Chains A and B, each alone.
Chain A
Amino acid sequence: MTAEGAISVQGLRVIRGGREVLHGVSLEIARGSVTGLLGPSGCGKTTLMRAVVGVQHVAGGSVTVLGHPAGAPALRTRVGYLTQAPSVYDDLTVAENLRYFGRVYGVAPGRAEEVSAVVGLTSHLGQAVGRLSGGQRARVSLATALLNNPEVLVLDEPTVGLDPVLRRDLWEMFHGLARGGATLLVSSHVMDEAERCDSLVLMRDGQVLAAETPARLRETTGAEDIEGAFLTLIAGQEADV
């Protein structure tokens, strides 16, 4: 086992549509942890995640995942990615989607049933994805990202629109995966989900404001909750300018 972290980001700069959206982001994420990526819509969370899975053009800096440059062919079987909008085939059934992506990964056919059980979709296997609710479609997409038992799992807003029971179950599942050695990077704009993470990365305007455990974050800012900590950090940042 190497001592290095699962994800290492150094001075990452990304330019989209002529505008710099990530201004030199640096970040270390330890193996076997659940890291929450928090910040308002448009702060660069998705761009950072895209850079980690290697689908984003970067203007500068480096992203290393499991010791390889992000997007390296060796990582394609070891990284799972859930996009914010469900990226599955609407005209296929849940089972057909999972079997197809499973074949691309080369996993056993039984994996389709396993991952659909994990996201609570066993009873919908035969239904066309286009006929499912938004939350159910999101879960099909999540199940797809789990097919290859990824060592690094990058999840962009995985719990949006889900009922509280299911949300709790999914977070338990995330921690179960982390205990099994997987590294999870989970974005959210729901601050109450922050408490469920082992560590947090707070972002704003393309910069990392803080990267700490939830407890340390409350301690250093003196705030009662993560929302308060966020506000304190922003106030501090603006006072510095």
Chain B
Amino acid sequence: MNPRIALATAARVLTQLRRDPRTLLLLLLVPVVLEALMKGIFWDQPGVFQRVGVPLLGIFPMTSMFLVTSITMLRERTSGTLERLMTMPLAKLDLLLGYALAFGAVATLQGTLVSLFAFGLLDLNVAGSPAAVVALAVLNALLGTAFGLLVSAFATTEFQAVQFMPAFLFPQLLLSGLMVPRERMLSGLEVFSNFLPMTYAYDALYRVSSSASFSGALAKDVAILVGATLGALILGAATLRRRSG
């Protein structure tokens, strides 16, 4: 591992993103618009907006970073640049860390912007610290990045990579508790939801929104999210092969 290479990679990924201002603008503005829409559709049910508004702040970054990462990594694989890097003195971890740093930075910007907007203009309230919401949003974004890196290995075209988003993230979103409290689901689905990382993302954000104290249950959620991120990164690293057929 070499921090110089990881940092150079992060800078390179950010420069590439800067060359595509439309993508950057969409990344930053779409969550803001969607959060405003949520406010609008639950206009006369402020309780519902309170319940789903905060978790959504953290789930937007996960989905957008998942998509951006899987497409960027797929391009890296298909353009031959990954193969070139694999002949160079670059550890796989340097590459993954570079990606995580770059998209983590974008996620911080994205999470901060949508949180400021929601807390400042949409009257969304959290019992806990708004900074904790942003921190969870960044953690979720890193989880999305790690999953994006992983699934890019199973996509051979950009069409496939895009389809992995609904295939991989929508079921998690439906089962996370955001739509229906998990204890009211069919017991089989509730058990299944225990194995899905987004369940813990929702849980953690819900806890921060409803209680000011840092509970053991919240710590457990965060630990599971960190573990899932590291696990996905390790699996993702295993899909980066120096040799291919």
B242 with A55: CB separation less than 8 A: yes
A104 with B19: CB separation less than 8 A: no
Whether a CB of chain B sits under 8 angstroms from the CB of A73 is: yes
A89 with B242: CB separation less than 8 A: no
Given contacts A55-B243, A56-B243, contact A144 B16 (CB under 8 A): no
User: In the bound complex, what is the Cα–Cα distance between A76 and B88 (angstroms)?
Assistant: 5
A87 with B83: CB separation less than 8 A: yes
Whether a CB of chain A sits under 8 angstroms from the CB of B245 is: yes
Q: Determine the chain A residues whose CB is within 8 A of the CB of B89 once the complex forms.
A: 73, 76-77, 104-106
Interface size on B, residues (CB 8 A): 25
Segment of B4-12, B32-40, B135-143, B166-174 engaged in the interface with chain A: B4-12
List which B1-45 residues lie within 8 A (CB) of chain A.
4-5, 8-9, 11-12, 15-16, 19-20
Whether a CB of chain A sits under 8 angstroms from the CB of B215 is: no
Whether a CB of chain B sits under 8 angstroms from the CB of A53 is: yes
User: In the bound complex, what is the Cα–Cα distance between A90 and B15 (angstroms)?
Assistant: 12
Q: Which of A77, A79, A85, A91 has the most CB of B within 10 A?
A: A91
A88 with B81: CB separation less than 8 A: yes
Q: Determine the chain A residues whose CB is within 8 A of the CB of B84 once the complex forms.
A: 81, 83, 87, 101, 144
Given contacts A55-B242, A79-B87, A83-B83, contact A100 B8 (CB under 8 A): yes
Whether a CB of chain A sits under 8 angstroms from the CB of B244 is: yes
User: In the bound complex, what is the Cα–Cα distance between A55 and B87 (angstroms)?
Assistant: 7
Q: Determine the chain B residues whose CB is within 8 A of the CB of A73 once the complex forms.
A: 89
Query: Closest CB of chain B to A36's CB: distance in Å?
Result: 21
Whether a CB of chain B sits under 8 angstroms from the CB of A206 is: no
A83 with B80: CB separation less than 8 A: yes
User: In the bound complex, what is the Cα–Cα distance between A84 and B243 (angstroms)?
Assistant: 17
B81 with A87: CB separation less than 8 A: yes
Interface size on A, residues (CB 8 A): 32
List which A67-81 residues lie within 8 A (CB) of chain B.
71, 73, 76-77, 79, 81
Given contacts A55-B83, A85-B80, A92-B12, contact A104 B243 (CB under 8 A): no
Smallest CB gap from A14: residue in B: B245
Given contacts A89-B81, A92-B16, contact A104 B88 (CB under 8 A): yes
Kindly list the 10 A-B residue pairs having the minimum CB-CB distance in the complex, ordered from nearest. Answer: A87-B80, A103-B8, A76-B89, A100-B12, A87-B84, A91-B19, A57-B243, A81-B87, A87-B81, A104-B88
| A and B contact pairs by CB, cutoff 8 A, 15 listed | A17-B245, A53-B87, A55-B242, A55-B244, A56-B244, A57-B244, A83-B83, A87-B80, A89-B12, A90-B79, A92-B12, A101-B88, A104-B85, A106-B89, A128-B19
A binding-site residues for B, Cβ under 8 Å: 15-17, 53-57, 71, 73, 76-77, 79, 81, 83, 85-92, 96, 100-101, 103-106, 128, 144
B binding-site residues for A, Cβ under 8 Å: 4-5, 8-9, 11-12, 15-16, 19-20, 79-81, 83-90, 242-245
Extra inter-chain contacts (5) besides given A104-B5, A104-B8, CB under 8 Å: A57-B244, A81-B84, A83-B84, A92-B19, A103-B5
